[in-house]
Amino acid sequence: FEATNSGIQIGVSVIAAELVQRVVDAAEELGVKTVISPECGHAYTAMRFEGPNLIGRAYRFRVQHILEVLDEFRQQGLLKTQGTEDSRLTFHDPCQLVRKGGVVQEPRNLVNMVATQFVEMKDHGTMNWCCSGGGGVSANERADALKFKAFRQKKSQLDELGIDTLVTACANCRITLEEGLEEYEMDIPVVGLTEMLAEHLVEDK
C-alpha cells in the first residue's frame, strides 16, 4: 500500500539516508536486479532519485515503480486480463510519480487494458493538479482548512467530467482524495490502479 520514507517527508536527511540504506543493504545481500516501489509517491522518488545521493554511491540494482513493471509485463504479453470496467473513470496523476518521476504513459496503458470509458482531466499528465495533500500538508491536521480549500481545484476537474470512479497510484493521494471527496459530499470511489488490474487478472489453471 505504501512505503513512505519518513525522513524525506519531514526533511531530515540523516533519517532519509538510513531508511534508504536499509533497503539497499537488503537488496544487495539478496543479489536482486530490481527493487520495486509500491503505489507510494515518496517511496518511489526517495529510493530511485534521491537515494544514491543520500548514501553517496550508485546502486547495484535498478529501482522501478510497480506501474513501470506492470507495463513492461503488458508489452511482453505477460499481463493478461479479462472483463472490463464499464464505469466512467479518470486517472489522477500523483505529483511524485508523474510530474517528478516521469511515469506518465504507463498508467494510461494499464488503465486502457480494462477500462471502456476512460476520460482524461483537462489538465492531465505532468500538468495535473495536486491532490491537495502534497508538501506534507496531508500529514498536518492543522493544515486541513488549507487542504480542503486547495481540493476545490481537483473538485472542479472531477465535476467537469462527471465520473463514477477515480483511479490513482499513490497511497498519499488516495487518502487525501478520499478526505476531500467526503468533505464536499462527492460520492466517488477512489481505487488504486494495481488493485483495479488485479480484479481482472487471468488466473493460470
Q: What is the distance, to the nearest Å, from the Cα of residue 201 to the centroid of all Cα atoms in its chain?
A: 20
For residue 4, how many other CB atoms are within 10 A of its CB? 16
Judged against a pLDDT cut of 80, whether residue 160 lies above it is answered with: yes
Q: Which residues contact 102 (CB under 8 A, 6 or more apart)?
A: none
CA-CA-CA-CA torsion for 181, 184, 186, 191, nearest 10 degrees? 0
Contact status, residue 48 vs residue 101, Cβ threshold 8 Å:
yes
Q: Which residues contact 73 (CB under 8 A, 6 or more apart)?
A: 79
Model-level pTM greater than 0.85?
yes
Percentage, residues of the chain above pLDDT 70: 99
What is the reported pLDDT for 95?
A: 93
66-80, 111-125, 137-151: segment of lowest average pLDDT: 137-151
Rg (CA), the chain: 18
Contact status, residue 164 vs residue 187, Cβ threshold 8 Å:
no
What is the reported pLDDT for 205?
A: 62
Percentage, residues of the chain above pLDDT 90: 82
Q: How confident is the model at residue 1 (pLDDT cuts 50, 70, 90)?
A: low
3-state secondary structure of 118: strand
Cell of 96: 511524485
Cell of 172: 498519499
Helices (H), 39-167: 41-45, 51-55, 66-75, 105-114, 144-161
Look-up: residue for cell 522501478? 64
Judged against a pLDDT cut of 90, whether residue 204 lies above it is answered with: no
CA 138/CA 9 separation, integer angstroms: 11
CA 133/CA 148 separation, integer angstroms: 9
CA 87/CA 186 separation, integer angstroms: 16
User: By C-alpha distance, which of 181, 128, 144, 178 is closest to 159?
Assistant: 181
